[in-house]
Amino acid sequence: MNDSVESFEHASLLAAHDESNAYDAVVPPIVQTSLFTFSSYAEMEETYKGNKVRPVYSRGLNPTVRIFEEKVAGMEGAEDGLAFGSGMAAISSTVITFVKPGDRIVCVRHVYPDAYRLFETLLSRYGVTVTYVDGRDEAAVAAALPGAALFYMESPTSWTMEAHDVKALAALAKSHGVITAIDNSWASPVFQQPIKLGVDLVLHSASKYLSGHSDVVAGVVVGSKALIGKIRGQTLPYLGGKLSPFDAWLLVRGLRTLPIRMKAHEAAGLSVARRLADHDAVASVSHPGLGNQLPPGLSGTSGLFSFTFREGVVDIPAFADRLQLFKLGVSWGGHESLVVPAQVVLVQAAGPNSAIDFGVDPNMVRLHVGLEGADALWNDLAAAIDAARRP
């Protein structure tokens, strides 16, 4: 981990701090209320005039949610943040704020599948078009950017784990006056801080590592006061996808252990990925940490990666059913290890005529390496491969 990563540890995450400092409680209270009342007509008037900032109604400002927003903004090195009831609510509200009919988005290929579907099924109805580019190909990105309204990034990408030079891409977009947003769920701010690489807006599915316990669905966007203010003022009130106070409280609890969880996911993930890469049943492993050095901008790797079985060697349904520690399930970022066959969730579900290229093939499998321990997880995988090997 580099110095800038160490710097947010741990004071802001662990500090009882927070806004109210109620009863000097170490854990901030859950302000589980929809409504805040005013002590006088004058106070109500001052608040509605904008002269006083205070909670009015929890679709806007809620103190528990605000603690979470401020902590994530602090970790990412951003001025401000806004939390939502899911990662997709954060993504859709952010994207919609910065495009209008006739606009074009440039998007790196192989982003999170529901972000693709947002672009292809919903935004296309409102006259927004999208150009997909290989984010590793800077010339292709430069050619696509002129005239675009937004550059949407994710690095590494979902499933294929294509890692980009985020700093270089952000600089290209800036030179064309294009606003940039990146989905940073995979690395978390522990291993990648895109604001410091020049990106304007950083998105998270907080359901994943920020929560860390698979008990919350949530999202967050951070950036400058001006850009976050646009999302807060122009989009959030009407789409209304605000995070709830109880979920914010769970997220604040999760954040306190984020740095140590990420180091554990990194170590176990690399250990399992290296052993898979050496296995004779495996054709390739897509993990950004397997090269001689990390991709630029990344200071570490998380526990999510994919690999591809050699054609015909392993019965993938039998492999998946034989696993005991790895549970069959989507999502990731919690303590538990998970396995997802691409064949089921992306190949068959998308259908033969799908125009969307997720970059996967039917022999691809995604793993989330949790906190059970690398050796136990490897033994589980190796035994399942042996049991499912075709004669």
Ligand X SMILES: *Cc1c(COP(=O)(O)O)cnc(C)c1O
Q: Are 56 and 202 in contact (CB under 8 A)?
A: no
- What's the min distance (Å) between Cβ of 217 and ligand X? 5
Q: Examine residue 207 and tell whether it contacts ligand X (CB under 6 A).
A: yes
Q: Which is nearer to ligand X, 110 or 314 (CB)?
A: 110
- What's the min distance (Å) between Cβ of 168 and ligand X? 21
- What's the min distance (Å) between Cβ of 113 and ligand X? 9
Candidates 33-41, 56-64, 80-88, 128-136 — which segment interacts with ligand X by CB under 6 A?
Answer: 80-88
Residue with nearest beta carbon to ligand X: 87
Candidates 51-59, 85-93, 123-131, 342-350 — which segment interacts with ligand X by CB under 6 A?
Answer: 85-93
Using CB under 6 A, pick the residue from 86, 180, 306, 363 that binds ligand X.
86
Contact pattern for ligand X over residues 147 through 166, marking x by CB under 6 A:
-----------x--------
- What's the min distance (Å) between Cβ of 89 and ligand X? 7
Using CB under 6 A, pick the residue from 219, 259, 297, 303 that binds ligand X.
219
Q: Which is nearer to ligand X, 257 or 331 (CB)?
A: 331
Q: Examine residue 194 and tell whether it contacts ligand X (CB under 6 A).
A: no
Q: Which is nearer to ligand X, 70 or 183 (CB)?
A: 183
Q: Examine residue 247 and tell whether it contacts ligand X (CB under 6 A).
A: no
Q: Examine residue 209 and tell whether it contacts ligand X (CB under 6 A).
A: no
Q: Examine residue 92 and tell whether it contacts ligand X (CB under 6 A).
A: no
Using CB under 6 A, pick the residue from 58, 93, 185, 211 that binds ligand X.
185
Could you list the residues that contact ligand X (CB under 6 A)? 86-88, 112, 158, 183, 185, 205, 207-208, 217, 219
